[in-house]
Structure 1
Amino acid sequence: MIFDVQDFQKEVIERSKTKPIVVDFWAAWCGPCRMLSPILEELAEEAKEKWDLAKLNVDEWGEVAIAYGVSGIPDVRIFIGGEEKDRFVGLQPKAAIQSWLEKNLGQEKKKIKWKEAIDLFEQGRFHESFLAFERDQEKPENPQESLICARLLLLANPQKALDVLSPSAGLEDPTLFEAIKFLALLLLGKSTDDWTDGKEKREFMEGLEALKKMDVEKGLSIGIGLLHQNKNMGEGLVLKTVRSLFHYLGPRHPLSLKYSRAFSTAVNI
């Protein structure tokens, strides 16, 4: 089935819990998009309902594109079980896309480590997430799993989060690595010394204190409020902090979805 997205949560996230959904982020003015679309549609027809193709015009659904971190098109993602599993960006030949689909559709479901902690994190229940992670005896076995551990540890124990991080080379999401590393150093008080004391810095530090108390919404709200005053505040420190928080949360997190428009307005005015 091939369809144009009208309700991303219902048609992609919820629907992918019963059938894989491939999402094509595109725009009419994008030449590579117009070349890629027929290939994806042909593959969708050949799949005989094993997966569906959802087409999302980024000009019409800019909020969704921003929330999911789409920075270049065509951007193609596959959602399985309510979650994004993989992506590729740019025009690809049909054979390469077939291999990509086979890789993602053919893998058996593996046991998810720290599932309870991850689920609680995705619900914004950060303290409960940390406690669930502490109860779990599973140990990371590779750099990607170490990155997940650091994400779950960050707010409660930023030093330990730094300690468990492995080198970023070869990671699926190096941007998340850099965001966690930056935020950990920030929470440890190692990035604000050059900012002259004043009202704006005191507000920013109030946001950091909220993060330390696992009140991520307050920290994010304060940061975006400061950006509305001056998007270059703190010589870019506030902007980098808020961007890092969005990367840390991930594009599907309820807080990312709630505050993405306010953030976009703050940095584009």
Structure 2
Amino acid sequence: MIFDVNDFEKEVIDRSKTIPVVVDFWAAWCGPCRMLSPLLEELAVEAQGKWDLAKVNVDEQEAVAVAYGVSGIPDVRIFIDGEEKDRFIGLQPKAAIKSWLEKNLNQKALKIKWKTALDLFEQGKFHEALVAFEKEKEKPENPQEFLIYAKFLLLSDPQKALAVLQPEMESEDPFSYEAIKCLGTLLLGEEIEKLGETDEKKRFVEGLEAIKKLDIEKGLFHWISLLHINKNIGEGLVLKAVRSLFRYLGPRHPLSLKYSRAFSTAVNV
């Protein structure tokens, strides 16, 4: 079902307790919105009733947009069991959206392994998450689980994390795959020569060192601070790194929510 939202609480929150609801926050004046909406509608039709697509015009539903912190559009979110589970912002290719949907619709199954570690990761307790991951000693059995496996390995052994990645895993979750690949490469000291011998490179490396010590917030802060100076530093390397870190954390992670506005300001000024 595809419908325009009039009562968000009833039509999205309550309805999502019965069937997953994907919400498309859009506006008529937004070019990327007009390109994204048909892709979402195609996927909704192809889903054959597995989930509903709810469309929210932010100009007509301004109070809802403000209440849910919509700061940039298109903004797409999925609600399951009365709660927002995930989101993405901006125009995405159909294949990436399809993978994002599949990941979230299968979320409960994905979290069977390393559940304690995943919960701690989502709380921003990275050291505790890594300890829990190493204690559980579960072995991945499919591409989705290998991605989660690589996600935790990145915190302790980026070289091994990159070795775990296989091309067939990319279709499972392109965002996570590319984020792990990018961050793993940076943590191994590759590509940073693009920054030259500059103060910016020194600050970028300080961010890398903080991430290696599991102080993800410090690393994210350092990198976003660089974007406020120049968003094109290092041929776009810093911008790519920050986007990868956000995708690695996930859109609902406390750090993503805390720093999304600062990031948006840095890249849109």
Q: Could you tell me the TM-score, scaled by structure 2's length?
A: 0.71
Which residue number corresponds to residue 173 of structure 2?
A: 173
Aligned to 2:237: 237
Match of 2:97 in 1: none
- In the alignment, structure 1 residue 135 sits paired with structure 2 residue 114: no
Which ranges of 4 or more aligned residues in structure 1 deviate by more than 6 Å?
Answer: 32-40, 50-53, 88-91
Partner of 1:115: 115
Tell me, in whole angstroms, the C-alpha distance in 2 between the residues paired with 1:192 and 1:199: 13
User: Structure 1 residue 215: deviation in Å?
Assistant: 0.8
Q: Which runs of 5+ in 2 are unaligned?
A: 44-48, 95-100
Structure 2 residue identity aligned to 1:257? L
8 Å CA contact retained: 2:158, 2:184: yes
For the 8 Å contact 1:117–1:133, the answer to whether it is kept is yes
Distance 1:181 1:142 in 2: 18
Distance 2:187 2:92 in 1: 33
Q: How does 1:153-192 map to 2 (within 5 A)?
A: 153-168=153-168, 171-192=171-192
CA distance in 2, matches of 1:32, 1:265: 24
Residue in structure 1 matching 2:70, options 54, 58, 64? 64
In the alignment, is the contact (CA less than 8 A) between 1:232 and 1:239 conserved in 2? Answer: yes
CA shift for structure 1 position 51: 7.9
The structural deviation recorded for 1:259 is 0.9
Query: Aligned pair in 2 of structure 1 residues 219, 3: CA closer, same or farther (>3 Å)?
Result: same
Q: Render the CA deviation track for 1:92-130: whole Å, top value 9, x for unaligned.
A: xxxxxxxxx9xx98x896462111111111111111111
SS at match of 2:245: helix
Q: Deviation of residue 203 (structure 1)?
A: 0.9
| Alignment partners' CA distance in 1, 2:229 and 2:107 | 49
Residue 221 of structure 1 aligns with which residue? 221
Give 1 or 2 for the bigger CA radius of gyration.
1
In structure 2, how many angstroms separate the alpha carbons of the residues matched to 1:51 and 1:23? 11
Q: Which amino acid aligns with 1:64?
A: V
Change in 2 beyond 3 A, CA 1:32/1:176:
closer
Identity of aligned residues (%): 61
Change (3 A) 1:27 1:239: same
Shift of 1:180: 0.6
Count of aligned pairs: 241
Does the residue aligned with 1:24 lie in a helix, a strand or coil? strand
Describe the superposition over 1:216-257 as per-residue Cα deviations: whole angstroms up to 9, x where unpaired: 111111101011011111222111111111111111111111
- The letter of the residue matching 1:188 is L
Structure with greater helix share of residues: 2
